[in-house]
Amino acid sequence: MKLNAKTAIKQVGHIIDLWMPLKLEYDRAAGVSIAIAHKGKILYAKGFGYADMKRREKADAKTLYHIASHSKMFTATAVLKLAEQGKLRLNDKVSSYIPWFKGKNKDKDASKITIRQLLSHKAGIFRDGDTPHWNDGKFPKDLKRPFSLKALIIKNSTKFKYTNYGYSLLGLVIEKASDMSYGDYVTENILKPLSLKNTHPDYMDGLKHIATGYGADLPGAGIRAFGHYKTNAYAPATGFVSNSIDITKFMSMFLHERKSVLSKQSLDEMTKPHAKTGDGDEYGLGLDIFHIGKHKVIGHGGGFNGFYTRTVLNLHNGVSVEVFANSQSLNPTQLAVCILKIVGALMDGDGKYAAGRKISYGNYEGVYRNNWGDSLVVRAGNILVGLDPSANNPFKQPRRLMPTGKPHAFIMKSDNLYGPYDEETVFSDFKNGKARKSTTAGMPMRRIEG
């Protein structure tokens, strides 16, 4: 049975409510904000854990994060906007706007690099330059000094080579073509028209409810809290600060469901593959592109000192997911893709999640524990599933509990052929209508939450 988007997202939201608090503990992560929308309408938005652990400030859907390379989506949008305004062309040479961006060695020639090649990471130039800004937080204000012939790594237009430096150069192109500062152009032509009131092209002092970033729990070092940094000239590549609500609004323009600052032609150009990135994935103009089955998915991720963030949008069913974390020990990419897949599976009526009998799901849902670990039992579609709450993708091999018709008894189905598939799971020891114990193949588990 297919579920409508609202019902599917409601079910998945309930799963997240039970799953994510445990996931943060397993990963020793500070906090996370998650938003799920359908055709631009937010149907789930919550935060878990802490935006700041020292102050015990909780994370919520409005918490601000350094969203890092999400910035590239805005920079690409600004370039396409300037193209629509007739102020530049995508095939223009970058050196036409940045006179010092010239020089050649062997078969590499900076003067031949185009704006389109920078947008699609096919310019062949180095990733970040030779300044240690990712270590010390001192992002350069001048892009000319790091440039030399050493910047030309591979011949332009030959293959994908991700470059923060290249997107920073696009900021200079935007300034030259618009006769405005990068921040002012983006604010006036993108942020204000889309009502992204909590989005900023770079960090600035005085921002309220912004998360503190935390490193991974490293052996002998513990968890480090990072300070906030202005990214200066690198803002077009990695400077943006925003929250899950605003980025959901921004992504909705690719569905043509809300007002857009770009024409359909420009949006199609951004979402069209321009480079192969490996494993069948691709890159458009400022956008990652991959597929879930036959469904095309776009978005971007970001990594900053103490922050990992990810946005994905299924162009086929209109579902978007934003997962923003202020911890380097959490994996928002895998979490976002997992959430997107299970919402899609429920909307598509995946037979794995269908059963012939209706049950009182809430009687069994919760977290169960024994010596071997935890199991999260929740509703998915019309069945119960048992999930590993420590996994980044607990739906990879879910344990599907199919009702047998006998009281509180289920048959376990699983793609894990080493597990107790086709054996009976029985819930027992009820209190206030809820099971406090489950047993599969003689292995008892005691309910601890839910």
Q: 224 in a domain, yes or no?
A: yes
Instruction: Specify the CATH number for the domain of residue 435.
Output: 2.40.128
User: What integer pLDDT is reported at residue 257 of this predicted model?
Assistant: 62
| Residue after which a domain boundary falls, among 331, 349, 367 | 349
388 shares a domain with 278: no
Q: 36 in a domain, yes or no?
A: no
Q: 35 in a domain, yes or no?
A: no
332 shares a domain with 360: no
User: What integer pLDDT is reported at residue 258 of this predicted model?
Assistant: 66
274 shares a domain with 240: yes
360 shares a domain with 307: no
pLDDT at 393 over 90: yes
Please, what is the angle between helix 5-27 and helix 332-348, to 10°? 150
313 shares a domain with 253: yes
pLDDT at 41 over 80: yes
In this prediction, residues 255-274 reach a mean pLDDT of 91
Amino acid occupying residue 132: P
Q: 97 in a domain, yes or no?
A: yes
User: What integer pLDDT is reported at residue 276 of this predicted model?
Assistant: 97
Helices (H), 96-186: 115-119, 133-136, 164-178, 182-186
204 shares a domain with 65: yes
User: What integer pLDDT is reported at residue 445 of this predicted model?
Assistant: 96
Q: 38 in a domain, yes or no?
A: no
359 shares a domain with 326: no
Share of the chain above pLDDT 90, in %: 89
340 shares a domain with 358: no
69 shares a domain with 180: yes
| Residue after which a domain boundary falls, among 334, 349, 364 | 349
Instruction: Specify the CATH number for the domain of residue 245.
Output: 3.40.710.10
Q: 45 in a domain, yes or no?
A: no
pTM confidence score: 0.95
Q: Order across the sheet with 275-278: list the strands.
A: 57-58, 41-52, 31-38, 319-325, 307-314, 295-304, 288-292, 281-283, 275-278
371 shares a domain with 337: no
DSSP letter string over 149-160? GGGB-S-TTSS-
Q: 103 in a domain, yes or no?
A: yes
pLDDT at 247 over 70: yes
Give the chain's domain count.
2
356 shares a domain with 344: no
408 shares a domain with 340: no
| Residue after which a domain boundary falls, among 296, 317, 349 | 349
Q: Structural domain of residue 90, as residue ranges? A: 54-349
Please classify residue 338 by burial: count the beta carbons closer than 10 Å to its beta carbon, then call 0-12 exposed, 13-18 middle and 19+ buried.
Answer: buried
For residue 115, what are the β-bridge partners?
Answer: none
Most confident listed range (104-108, 176-180, 219-223): 176-180
User: Taking the chain, what is the end-to-end CA distance rounded to the nearest angstrom?
Assistant: 26
Q: 17 in a domain, yes or no?
A: no
